[in-house]
Amino acid sequence: MLTALLAPFVLAIFAPTVRRVSGPMTGWVLALLPAGLTFYFAQFIGVVAEGGAVSFSTPWVPATGINLSFYVDGLSLLFALLISGIGTFIVLYAGAYLKGHADLGRFLMFILMFMGSMLGLVLSDDVITLFVFWELTSVTSFLLIGFNHTSPRSRRAAVQALVVTGGGGLALLAGLLLMAQVGGSMELSTLLTEGDVLRNHPYYLAILILVLAGAFTKSAQVPFSFWLPNAMEAPTPVSAYLHSATMVKAGVYLLARVNPGLGGTDVWQITLVLFGAATFLVGAVLALRNTDLKLMLAQTTVASLGLLVFLIGLGHDIALQAAMTYLFAHSLFKGALFMAAGCIDHGTGTREIGRLSGLGSAMPITAAASALAALSMSGLAPFIGFIAKEFAYKATLGGIWPVAITSVAVIGSALLFTVAFLVGVKPFLGKPGDTPSPPHEGSPSLWLGPVVLAVLGLLAGPFNGVTETYFVGPAVSAVAGAPMVVDLYLWGGLKTPLFLSVVTVALGAVMFWRATALQEFLARILDRLWGPDQGYDQFLDGVVALARGVTARLQTGSLRRYLLVSFLVLAAVLAVPKVFMGSDAQVIVAPKEFYVWCVAVLTIAGGLAIMITRSRLIAILSMGVLGIAVAFVFLMFGAPDLAFTQLMVETLSVVILALVIARLPVQGVDWRGWPRALRDSAIGTVIGVAIAMVLLSITSRPMDLTLSEYFAEKSYTEAYGRNIVNVILVDFRALDTFGEIAVVVIAGVAVLGLLAFGGRRAASTPALDEEKTK
């Protein structure tokens, strides 16, 4: 299993090489892997259809209980088969679609990486593994959307998709971890058997919101749906694969997966139904408003995802059956339609439906595939799409708010019916239109995918016994969390669902008849409205403006300002608690020795001199006096190493400062004025007094001497050194020291760089600060 999941990643690395070696046959060669994976997964069909499940586990981070564990049940198998099966045709298709493109190798590399991530996502059992693969699909999607990286629109769409889905992914991580905490296991298969524990826990709402944030962003639910149409900037194979058949279904997959654990509550039902229904309607309306084949299809995908979400939200048996059937049907017809749209684009040079007509005679195979897929999408018998729609109506009639939800379903389906005919049938009928290049049929690798998927969509309807036993049935059982009998049928008798289907078709046909007028009408209304896409831009602009404002305030470029702000904050942090909470500082013994008082006077004199002197040079020298006085303090109270270091640092500080001051434009007297001198002195005094009080209160408490004693004891016996400080530095804590000297080297290099590029202006002393911290 692990091999099967790693294989796409390994092959991905070699995809550019394969491309160089096998030239025009690249697509066929690389498609062997997904084809092989399809067969590999197909061998689980038997076990899973009988209600079994297969799991695999390899330790990954055993210390925290994270395993690379995978779980094959009906739901993950359905997805795995769709991913590898459709993936086979996508790789083939991409090989022909981007034939001669300089970066075809890289493109196929991304596609294969995506395939591996997606397979990992649907098969993962461990929540961390699931999250890793989830984010990998976001990252590979980013790479694929931004494949035409010279186009600003592509780049924007790629970043947008990454921000939205990646952000949702982070929420999902939090949700999954909370879930793991509450349920006490990292394995989904275990967690989901404890639905009651999860649902009754106080964290349930938090978990639900976080998981839904992940699912809704990934599956383009309103109000996050805007990234999906923008992602159509990607080459068509990507749109067909990621943004219709697989990746965008990851959110739906997640909802279906966690349904046994989190589903069934009122919050779950209402949220999913509301968001799903809104998405369904918005997507369907926007699909009709657009005139670009790919954008129309993208919006119908949004609509379909909405339908799936609200079906899962309804949650009863029929709804789950409808959801899984529709999911299966949708992957087939939408993949086919997208690939057919790509064929049309490839053959004619345009995707504007206004310019496309009469392609039927020039592109007969594409036309046939496209028409079959469109019929399935519009929900006509005997296609699998019809069964899905029948079940969806049956589901809405039996769920919450039957009238409202059923009306939404009927209106949305009618809109999808219209769009299906506009996209899949209309371009091939009528007189030949005016297209940039004369229409022609593509190579077999281009039409093979759409034909196979469309024909499967046709066969899955009449042969619904196969569909229900091997694909839909096991998936429904997995979603419900209990074995489930699924009975799909084409003829359900003269009942309400059939009547609703007739209404849908009639409504759709009317809208198709008046399509042009309707599209113009929608364009007039909708284009004026504010949408989340603009909202995304406004949000990003807001973030940038905020960052700019904060930067302008804080990063003024004035070193004095930085120091002032830093020390003010330090003073506040140290002094405010003391003022409000009092201090337990107490002077234990006042020193009696004369020399101690001498040093104290020297220290204070140095400090006072810095405050009031008018000359920079004297200020620097006074700093030196102060520092050396402090070194004496260290020496007197038994820290010779520290005193030694302090002495040397002070000496070198004076040398370096003297070098710097020689470069400064101001000579001699440079008086800053009494107000500033007093302000600086006040801040300095507050910090000094506050630190003294902190130290006094620390020393007046009993100290934990465990470490000191350990080092004192082991220093000579284990490290053969009597100087504990040095032994700690170079032996016990050598790794720390190693990091510190690395910083010193980096600081040195940085200073050299600043001096080389910034000349005089950069001659400040970051390295000196570095020394001081030692």
Partner 1 sequence: MNSLILRTATPFLVGLTVLFSIYVLLRGHNEPGGGFIGGLIGASAFATYIISEGTNAIRRALIVPPIAIAGIGLFLAGLSGVASILFGDAFMTGQWWFPDFKPDLKYLSTVVLFDIGVYMVVVGAIVSIILGLEESGQ
Interaction site with partner 1 (CB under 8 A) = 640-641, 644-645, 648-649, 651-652, 655-656, 659-660, 662-663, 719-723, 725-727, 729-731, 734-735, 737-738, 741-742, 744-745, 747-749, 751-752, 755-756, 759-760, 763, 767-768, 771, 774
Q: Cα torsion for 33, 35, 40, 42, to the nearest 10°? A: 160
Based on CB atoms, which residue is closest to partner 1, 14 or 711? 711
CB of 695 to partner 1, least distance (A): 23
CB of 621 to partner 1, least distance (A): 16
User: Look-up: residue for tokens 């300002």?
Assistant: 561
Burial class (CB in 10 A: 0-12, 13-18, 19+), 531: middle
Contacts of 179 (CB under 8 A, 6+ apart): 127, 191, 198, 207, 211, 258, 261, 262
Based on CB atoms, which residue is closest to partner 1, 568 or 642? 642
CB of 764 to partner 1, least distance (A): 10
**Pair 500, 426: CB distance under 8 Å:** no
Does residue 382 have a cis bond before it (omega within 30 degrees)?
A: yes
Tell me which residue of 239, 107, 95 sits closest to 161, measured CA to CA. Answer: 239
Based on CB atoms, which residue is closest to partner 1, 101 or 733? 733
Based on CB atoms, which residue is closest to partner 1, 526 or 719? 719
CB of 648 to partner 1, least distance (A): 3
CB of 669 to partner 1, least distance (A): 21
**CA 758/CA 278 separation, integer angstroms:** 57
CB of 560 to partner 1, least distance (A): 20
Based on CB atoms, which residue is closest to partner 1, 18 or 719? 719
Based on CB atoms, which residue is closest to partner 1, 106 or 733? 733
SS3 270: helix
CB of 756 to partner 1, least distance (A): 8
**CA 163/CA 533 separation, integer angstroms:** 13
**CA 331/CA 333 separation, integer angstroms:** 6
CB of 273 to partner 1, least distance (A): 57
Based on CB atoms, which residue is closest to partner 1, 339 or 628? 628
CA atoms in the 13 A half-sphere facing the CB of 626: 16
User: Look-up: residue for tokens 């990091």?
Assistant: 739
**Gyration radius (Cα) of the chain, Å:** 35
Question: Which stretch of DSSP H or E encloses residue 69?
Answer: strand 66-72
Based on CB atoms, which residue is closest to partner 1, 542 or 759? 759
What tokens does 417 get? 């019916």
Tell me which residue of 386, 261, 228, 248 sits closest to 309, measured CA to CA. Answer: 248
Based on CB atoms, which residue is closest to partner 1, 520 or 713? 713
Tell me which residue of 122, 150, 149 sits closest to 136, measured CA to CA. Answer: 122
Question: Which stretch of DSSP H or E encloses residue 70?
Answer: strand 66-72
User: Look-up: residue for tokens 């993208």?
Assistant: 298
**Pair 125, 69: CB distance under 8 Å:** yes
Tell me which residue of 241, 225, 212 sits closest to 115, measured CA to CA. Answer: 241
**CA 637/CA 599 separation, integer angstroms:** 12
Based on CB atoms, which residue is closest to partner 1, 354 or 739? 739
CB of 762 to partner 1, least distance (A): 8
**Pair 251, 191: CB distance under 8 Å:** no
Based on CB atoms, which residue is closest to partner 1, 193 or 765? 765
**CA 726/CA 729 separation, integer angstroms:** 5
CB of 748 to partner 1, least distance (A): 4
Tell me which residue of 758, 78, 210, 40 sits closest to 475, measured CA to CA. Answer: 78
CB of 602 to partner 1, least distance (A): 22
Using DSSP bridges, classify how beta strands 54-61 and 66-72 pair: parallel, antiparallel or unpaired: antiparallel
CB of 625 to partner 1, least distance (A): 17
Based on CB atoms, which residue is closest to partner 1, 426 or 714? 714
Based on CB atoms, which residue is closest to partner 1, 570 or 750? 750
Based on CB atoms, which residue is closest to partner 1, 130 or 623? 623
What tokens does 96 get? 């022909």
Based on CB atoms, which residue is closest to partner 1, 543 or 662? 662
CB of 624 to partner 1, least distance (A): 13
Based on CB atoms, which residue is closest to partner 1, 466 or 744? 744
CB of 449 to partner 1, least distance (A): 53
Instruction: Count other Cβ atoms within 10 Å, centred on residue 65.
Output: 14
CB of 744 to partner 1, least distance (A): 5
> DSSP class of residue 730?
I
What tokens does 10 get? 């390994």
Compute CA distances 108 → 44, 151, 238, 239, 766, whole Å: 27, 20, 10, 14, 48
User: Look-up: residue for tokens 């403006």?
Assistant: 545
CB of 276 to partner 1, least distance (A): 54
143, amino acid identity: L
Based on CB atoms, which residue is closest to partner 1, 598 or 743? 743
**Pair 277, 408: CB distance under 8 Å:** yes
CB of 557 to partner 1, least distance (A): 19
291, amino acid identity: T
CA 419 to chain centre: 31
| Ordered DSSP codes for 536-587 | HHHHHHHHHHHHHHHHHHH--S-HHHHHHHHHHHHHHHHHHHHHHH------
Based on CB atoms, which residue is closest to partner 1, 170 or 763? 763
Contacts of 511 (CB under 8 A, 6+ apart): 288, 414, 415, 417, 418, 518
What tokens does 215 get? 């699912």
What tokens does 311 get? 């079906």
CB of 642 to partner 1, least distance (A): 9
**Pair 311, 320: CB distance under 8 Å:** yes
